[in-house]
Amino acid sequence: MKAFRRRGTSFRAEFEPAEASMLASLAGQVAELVGTRTDDGADPAVVRLLPDAYPDDPEASREFRRFTADGLAERKIANAGVLAASVADAAGATSATKVTIDAQTAQAWLRALTDIRLTLAARLGIEQDEDLGDDPLLRDLYDWLGFVQGSLVEVMG
């Protein structure tokens, strides 16, 4: 990946086909997870993506979730869809593809990337960087997602 750069009012990055496919796949997995969730608290990734508003008051949390969880889940699914759609052409390419997004799309990207990283962290028990362990592939994926997100944040500022 070549980091995001500002082009007037838009932001451009270049992704290799495998990178674009990975982003689209991860975004799709998060959207599916949130879309098919159960609110029983059994899945640590769902708990991380849709946390309790009142951790010390289960009844208030249930009531809050009853009114807000569906809307929050819909927004997370929409953000993941925006990210996946942005890299859809790049995912099928045989060479690097430039992805250009506007400011509104960039916000959806940032939210979707956060959700992807939170899901990975929850699934793998990552609370701090040290929790990544010795798996170089896992560390590389988690770091790469941070790089994608960080490069976008930098050019937006």
- Per residue in 101-110, pLDDT (tens digit) is 999 999 999 9
Q: Quote the tokens at residue 136.
A: 């170089």
User: What is the pLDDT, as a whole number, of residue 121?
Assistant: 86
pLDDT band at 134 (very low <50, low <70, confident <90, very high): low
The pLDDT of 114-136, averaged and rounded, is 80
What pTM was estimated for this model as a whole? 0.90
Domain boundaries, the chain: 2-156
pLDDT at 64 over 70: yes
CB of 7 closer than 8 Å to CB of 151: no
pLDDT at 153 over 90: yes
> Which strands make up the sheet holding 2-7, listed edge to edge?
2-7, 10-15, 97-102
* Degrees to nearest 5, angle at CA 10 with 157 and 110: 55
Residue with more model confidence, 129 or 9:
9
CA distances 28 to 22, 74, 82, 118, Å, are 10, 13, 10, 14
Tell which residue, 11, 14, 20, 10, has the closest CA to residue 1: 14
The pLDDT of 90-117, averaged and rounded, is 90
pLDDT at 126 over 70: yes
The pLDDT of 82-105, averaged and rounded, is 87
The pLDDT of 74-91, averaged and rounded, is 91
Residue with more model confidence, 127 or 103:
103
User: What is the pLDDT, as a whole number, of residue 88?
Assistant: 86
pLDDT band at 133 (very low <50, low <70, confident <90, very high): low
